[in-house]
């Protein structure tokens, strides 16, 4: 394995001055993305289907914030897998939301093109807005992300045999790549979403090891995941031959930080041949359900999970550096009832901190307001590349622009594939975090 050439202190010190390395990916096409960053780096943001409700984060907000022009990929989260091993959609609480996906009409104010949806158009909702966003940002790719923590339940069953893999992949291509949506009133139908999705992102959490409480996993998942990736690659490539010359459907995966989970579920050299890139878990190293406060997304950490440890683990197992995209959180993990004094880190805590949407989990937009309020003190571990807020009782660990500046310097120095964000709805209305990453990746 190629070893690191800079110490962590030197990397932090030179974060503003390292040259951009233009070897991370293939050159952009002639009609490449209208982005301000170098096309050498991927900038991948997850857009959450459910964020259009409580958070009122619409696809159009990506245009008004300037985020869309700074992204190379949007991963739409999530598509679900049925108990019979097929991609599906519908209006099933907790299982699928076709209303948000392609049925819900948007008014002019919330539309990318500032034109209200009609009652008769076959595609509305998020899907139509993403199509409009692509029209405004030529070269921007949209991927359908399958699974996630809650919807990986049936991945193991779908991947179990050659026949089940073939049927599963065919159903996903039919629904998303070919755009054959179920009819819902005036919406949907054959080819209604054709041309919207440019590839598939596999978010199976996790092959070969435990994920959510109802997610099935088996020892043979490791080999079956390899075969599933191969089947997606085969069917995507075959379909590409029926499209315009030179069309390539991308295939990516979200992959874990823990070495035990990597070894249980991923034949790294084999899957990397078929995947265009992988999005590394760069967060949730520690979570608010733990009894002690800790970092959730440090660049470095001694004898603990970290971004550097994750990158090392994948490189050591044979992944090409140019295909490793580093995940970054647009949210924080928080604890309350913190005792022990000091700066609050690595101290006992009573419970997850109260938050807007979910205890222990808060969007960066809200954490920035806490940092600016004067009630909390911002603490930094500059050597290890992470930050946290503490008011004497409640602690939030998160990434702010200074942390992201250091992480982008790390990406450039180690010639990695780029940056990924979970999730876009956590940023400020003016896209503060995405701008920080964009600036960091173009630093010369």
Please identify every residue annotated as catalytic. 205
CA dist 133 → 195, 236, 296, 423 (Å): 13, 23, 32, 17
Gap between the Cα atoms of 386 and 301, Å rounded: 10
- The 10 Å Cβ neighbour count of residue 429 is 10
What are 56's two structure tokens?
């009122």
Query: Which two tokens mark 139?
Result: 């070269």
Q: Tokens 């092959």 appear where?
A: 207
Provide the token pair at 341. 């004094």
CA dihedral of 224, 279, 149, 210, whole degrees rounded to 10? 50
């Amino acid at each position: 394995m190629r070893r690191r050439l800079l110490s962590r202190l030197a990397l932090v010190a030179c974060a503003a001055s390292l040259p951009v390395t233009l070897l991370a990916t293939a050159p952009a096409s002639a009609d490449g993305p209208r982005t301000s960053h170098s096309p050498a780096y991927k900038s991948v943001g997850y857009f959450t289907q459910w964020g259009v409700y409580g958070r009122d984060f619409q696809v159009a907000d990506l245009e008004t914030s300037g985020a869309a022009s700074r992204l190379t990929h949007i991963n739409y989260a999530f598509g679900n897998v049925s108990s019979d091993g097929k991609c599906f959609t519908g209006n099933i609480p907790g299982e699928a939301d076709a209303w948000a996906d392609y049925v819900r009409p948007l008014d002019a104010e919330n539309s990318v093109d500032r034109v209200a949806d009609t009652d008769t158009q076959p595609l509305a909702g998020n899907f139509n807005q993403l199509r409009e966003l692509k029209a405004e940002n030529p070269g921007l790719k949209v991927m359908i992300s399958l699974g996630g923590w809650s919807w990986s339940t049936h991945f193991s069953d779908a991947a179990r045999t050659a026949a089940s893999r073939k049927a599963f992949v065919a159903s996903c291509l039919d629904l998303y790549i070919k755009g054959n949506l179920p009819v819902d009133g005036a919406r949907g139908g054959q080819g209604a979403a054709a041309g919207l999705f440019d590839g598939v992102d596999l978010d199976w959490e996790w092959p070969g090891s435990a994920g959510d409480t109802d997610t099935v996993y088996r020892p043979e998942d490791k080999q079956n995941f390899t075969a599933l990736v191969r089947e997606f690659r085969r069917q995507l490539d075959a379909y590409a031959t029926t499209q315009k010359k030179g069309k390539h459907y991308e295939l990516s995966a979200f992959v874990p930080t823990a070495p035990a989970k990597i070894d249980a579920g991923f034949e790294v050299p084999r899957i990397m041949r078929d995947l265009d890139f992988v999005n590394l878990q760069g967060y949730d190293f520690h979570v608010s359900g733990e009894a002690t406060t800790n970092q959730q997304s440090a660049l470095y950490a001694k004898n603990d999970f970290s971004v550097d440890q994750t990158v090392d683990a994948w490189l050591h197992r044979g992944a090409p550096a140019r295909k490793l995209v580093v995940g970054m959180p647009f949210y924080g993990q928080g604890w309350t009832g913190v005792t022990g004094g000091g700066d609050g880190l690595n101290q006992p805590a009573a419970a997850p901190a109260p938050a807007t949407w979910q205890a222990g989990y808060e969007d960066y937009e809200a954490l920035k307001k806490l940092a600016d309020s004067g009630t909390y003190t911002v603490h930094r571990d500059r050597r290890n590349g992470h930050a946290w807020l503490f008011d004497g009782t409640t602690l939030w660990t998160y990434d702010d622009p200074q942390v992201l500046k250091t992480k982008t310097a790390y990406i450039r120095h180690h010639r990695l594939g780029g940056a990924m964000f979970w999730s876009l709805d956590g940023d400020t209305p003016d896209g503060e975090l995405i701008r920080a990453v964009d600036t960091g990746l173009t630093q010369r």
